[in-house]
Amino acid sequence: MHAIEYIGPQPKKKSRRPALGGWVILLMAGLFVSYFAWPTFADYVRKAQDTATADKVDIAVMQLSQSESFGNKLAIAALQRTKVDVRYDGAYYQIEYPMGDVPANKGVSSDVIIRSYRAMGIDLQQLVHEDMKSHFRLYPQLWGQTEADTNIDHRRVPNLQRFFKRKGQEIPVTRKAEDYEFGDIVVWNLHDGESHIGIVVPGPGSHSAEKWVVHNAGEGTRWENSLFIYTVRGHYRYGH
């Protein structure tokens, strides 16, 4: 006789249950992941909450004051500018000379630089004018002028850039934050091709080791993490 082939469901062996229930294994896996991931997540949350506020300005100023370096002092002066409500205004004003200024509640990116240096006892209006008066043709010829103008020359970013290059240190442009020091001057090209300028400062709170900037890009004087948001085309140190 021939063996008859069995037709039907195959018999299954009873599977052994794990010594620990599945929910216990999941719980242990969750605890394991949480143990190692929590410090990273907590650090992320803490940094996200460290925004640039007025009280953080005072803390940053206190930390910077631990050093007497010129760069730190200039960074302090720049941070203090963020406490002043300023409306962006690039209009031409007749101002006094020397130590002249546009209305305190108005200004552009260059005015952040001018006012920060004034807090250090350095009048860029006079310094730029004196250099332009003696070397007018060495400065950008972009505005149809035939002589220096004490009302506006120091407020134009290309002029400040040329002055810092002539009288200060021109630092190679990189995209490495460690190449920038507090108090450094940075010149950018904005998306519309306009020149823009700001001062390197520390970030707030847990960002204090990072390189942020104080600048006015149209919304008043701001303390922002935007060193490399725009194309950097100039990096200078003056007075250091």
Same domain, 185 and 109: yes
What does the pLDDT read at residue 35?
A: 52
Total count of domains within the chain: 2
Across all residues in the chain, what is the average pLDDT? Answer: 88
Same domain, 108 and 121: yes
What does the pLDDT read at residue 48?
A: 46
What does the pLDDT read at residue 12?
A: 56
- Answer yes or no: is 32 within a domain: yes
pLDDT band at 6 (very low <50, low <70, confident <90, very high): very low
The Cα 213–Cα 116 span in angstroms is 13
- Answer yes or no: is 10 within a domain: no
The Cα 96–Cα 94 span in angstroms is 7
Backbone region of residue 99 per phi and psi (left: phi > 0; alpha: psi in -120 to 50; beta: other values): left
Does the pLDDT at position 229 exceed 80?
yes
C-alpha triplet 27, 25, 35: angle, nearest 5°? 45
For the chain, what percent of residues have pLDDT higher than 70? Answer: 80
- Answer yes or no: is 12 within a domain: no
- The better pLDDT of the pair 32, 71 is held by 71
The Cα 33–Cα 39 span in angstroms is 11
What does the pLDDT read at residue 24?
A: 60
Lowest mean per-residue pLDDT among 8-22, 34-48, 154-168: 34-48
Structural domain boundaries enclosing 33: 20-48
Average pLDDT over residues 34-48: 44
Same domain, 108 and 43: no
Which domain CATH number covers 202?
A: 3.90.1720.10
Burial of 95 (0-12, 13-18, 19+ CB in 10 A): middle
Is residue 158 reached through a cis peptide bond, with omega within 30 degrees of 0 on the bond before it? no
What does the pLDDT read at residue 45?
A: 36
pLDDT band at 25 (very low <50, low <70, confident <90, very high): low
- Answer yes or no: is 58 within a domain: yes
Lowest mean per-residue pLDDT among 6-10, 101-105, 198-202: 6-10
What does the pLDDT read at residue 191?
A: 85
Average pLDDT over residues 170-177: 98
pLDDT band at 31 (very low <50, low <70, confident <90, very high): low
What does the pLDDT read at residue 187?
A: 98
What does the pLDDT read at residue 17?
A: 57
Same domain, 74 and 34: no
- Answer yes or no: is 13 within a domain: no
Same domain, 114 and 222: yes
The Cα 78–Cα 75 span in angstroms is 5
